[in-house]
């Protein structure tokens, strides 16, 4: 590599060191699996490096990387899951919340329950509850309506809320 390429590699490596943990955590929440999260994060950074000069010029390189992560995660699933029609989602799709009346003896972990949501629901959760993005920003990032964001967030919350407190009791007896 030349001097310029070396500098780019150093800058990119520094970027991965500073942002890698945050992106990996988001990937963990999206995939529900340690190895898939590693793969997703690596695929994301590889794409980021391909466009590194553009990324550096962006207002927020981290936001660029986060958007790339979400798009990478959703794109391959969108191709496979034709049943994902966010604009057509209604309350009737919500169904009974899993774990609304949890059995303490068969408690499902929060991350496992998150992995049981649809990919788009997971993406909504990550943006709303991990990245602390607003409804409007989440809708823009995912290319869906604000109403769909609220509906999906509510559905996810119905499923996940029962698992919030029990875990705290388990980890901090």
Partner 1 sequence: MTDTDPNHDPRLSTALRERLRDERPDLEHLAQSSLRAGIRGRRRRRAGAAAGAVLGVTAVAVTAGLLSGGGTTARDGTVATTPTPSATATVTATPTPGDQQSHDVGAPGDPALPFTLDLAGWTCEYFPVDDKAWCTSTRGGNLSVVVRPAEDHAAWAGQPDKGADPSTLWTSPVHGNYFVTVQGGAGADGLGPTPLQAFIDGLHLAPRWDRP
String marking each residue 10-49 x if it binds partner 1 according to CB under 8 A: --xx--xx--xx--xx--xx-xxxxxx-xx-xxxxxxxxx
Question: Rule CB under 8 A: which of 138-167 touch partner 1?
Answer: 146, 149-150, 153-154, 157, 160-161, 163-164, 167
**Do 44 and 72 contact (CB within 8 A), yes or no?**
yes
Of the candidates 145, 151, 161, which has an alpha carbon nearest to the alpha carbon of residue 89? Answer: 151
Closer Cβ to partner 1, 92 or 172, answer by number: 172
**Residue of 62, 94, 98, 135 interacting with partner 1 (CB under 8 A):** 135
DSSP conformation class of 82: T
Residue linked to tokens 């919340």: 97
**Residue of 6, 7, 9, 100 interacting with partner 1 (CB under 8 A):** 9
Minimum distance from residue 126 beta carbon to partner 1 (Å):
9
110 contacts partner 1 (rule: CB under 8 A): yes
Tell me the two tokens of residue 171.
């980890």
Question: Rule CB under 8 A: which of 53-72 touch partner 1?
Answer: none
d(CA 33, CA 39): 10
Q: How many residues sit close enough to partner 1 to count as binding (CB under 8 A)?
A: 62
Of the candidates 90, 86, 87, 89, which has an alpha carbon nearest to the alpha carbon of residue 77? Answer: 86
Minimum distance from residue 101 beta carbon to partner 1 (Å):
18
Q: How long, in residues, is the chain?
A: 173
Of the candidates 66, 91, 90, 87, which has an alpha carbon nearest to the alpha carbon of residue 144? Answer: 87
Q: Which residue stretches of 32-94 are H helix?
A: 34-50, 52-57, 61-80
Q: Contact residues for partner 1 (CB under 8 A)?
A: 9, 12-13, 16-17, 20-21, 24-25, 28-29, 31-36, 38-39, 41-50, 52, 76-77, 79-81, 109-112, 115, 125, 128-130, 132-136, 146, 149-150, 153-154, 157, 160-161, 163-164, 167-168, 171
């Amino acid at each position: 590599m030349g001097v310029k390429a070396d500098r780019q590699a150093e800058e990119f490596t520094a970027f991965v060191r500073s942002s890698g943990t945050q992106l990996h955590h988001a990937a963990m929440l999206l995939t529900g699996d340690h190895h898939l999260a590693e793969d997703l994060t690596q695929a994301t950074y590889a794409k980021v490096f391909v466009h590194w000069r553009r990324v550096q010029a962006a207002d927020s390189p981290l936001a660029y990387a986060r958007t790339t992560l979400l798009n990478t995660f959703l794109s391959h699933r969108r191709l496979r899951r034709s049943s994902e029609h966010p604009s057509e989602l209604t309350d009737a799709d919500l169904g009974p919340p899993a774990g609304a009346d949890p059995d303490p003896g068969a408690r499902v972990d929060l991350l496992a329950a998150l992995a049981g949501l649809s990919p788009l629901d997971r993406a909504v959760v990550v943006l709303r509850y991990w990245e602390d993005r607003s409804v409007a920003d989440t809708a823009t990032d995912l290319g869906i309506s604000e109403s769909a964001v609220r509906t999906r967030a509510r559905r996810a919350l119905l499923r996940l809320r029962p698992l919030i407190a029990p875990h705290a009791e388990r980890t901090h007896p």
